[in-house]
Amino acid sequence: MIEIYGDGQSGNCWKVRQILDFTARPYRWQEVNVLARETRTPAFLALNPNGKVPIVRLDDGTVLTESGAILCHFAEGTPWLPERGLPRTRVLEWLFFEQYSHEPNVAVARYWIHYLNAKDEYADRLPARWEGGYKALDVMERRLGEHEWLTDAGPTVADVALYAYTHVAGEGGFTLEGYPGVRAWLGRFAGLQHYGGLK
């Protein structure tokens, strides 16, 4: 059976669980506590030298890393990832946007505030994350104010990836008040069959 090594509070790890639920594949969840430095043990580093969750172990022992790559791996051949050409490229654009422009701001602010419970300690570094996070949300709103999903292909792994930290952005000190398109999209996503959120 597919094994996910993940931290139950991590949006990156939730993405993997969610695409396996959407594509109706059974899996076993192996909890890895990031705060307890369980991603730094020799045993874990042997699985992923980059020391990050999520990772996935397949039946034959193959280990997959990087949530964006794992999403594509399991979505291949399903409606969650267009087969090729521009529709596929549009999905990849959002996946890279998420990892470069959204996650390092929205997820990191949440990590400091909600996960480490250290808002005061990071008080001088939070404003830059909020600014970057709102810029990323602006980009999403431009699209979602006028469209149902992030790409024209219907719900895809692009939506899974961006949903991960957007639906818990409040835990990072963000408000989605000025983002009606994003809020409506969050509602549509939560209505999908086999949906299960992070909270």
Site of interaction with its own copies (CB under 8 A): 49-50, 52, 62, 64-70, 72-73, 76-77, 84-86, 88-89, 92-93, 95-97, 99-101, 103-104, 135-136, 138-139, 142
- Do 67 and 96 meet the contact criterion of CB atoms below 8 Å apart? no
Tell me how far, at minimum, the Cβ of 101 lies from its own copies, in Å.
Answer: 6
| Count of Cβ atoms closer than 10 Å to residue 61 Cβ | 6
d(CA 25, CA 39) in angstroms, rounded, equals: 25
Tell me whether residue 142 or residue 147 sits nearer to its own copies (CB atom).
142
Tell me whether residue 33 or residue 89 sits nearer to its own copies (CB atom).
89
Tell me whether residue 17 or residue 104 sits nearer to its own copies (CB atom).
104
Cβ-based neighbours of 35, under 8 Å, separated by 6 or more: 115, 116
d(CA 22, CA 192) in angstroms, rounded, equals: 9
Q: What are the Cα distances from residue 72, in Å, to 49, 75, 101, 163, 187?
A: 21, 5, 19, 16, 23
Tell me how far, at minimum, the Cβ of 37 lies from its own copies, in Å.
Answer: 15
Tell me how far, at minimum, the Cβ of 108 lies from its own copies, in Å.
Answer: 11
- Do 151 and 89 meet the contact criterion of CB atoms below 8 Å apart? no
- The encoded tokens of residue 75 equal 């979505």
Identify the bridge partners of residue 65 per DSSP, sorted by sequence position: 55
Tell me how far, at minimum, the Cβ of 96 lies from its own copies, in Å.
Answer: 4
Tell me whether residue 23 or residue 99 sits nearer to its own copies (CB atom).
99
Tell me how far, at minimum, the Cβ of 103 lies from its own copies, in Å.
Answer: 8
Tell me whether residue 28 or residue 142 sits nearer to its own copies (CB atom).
142
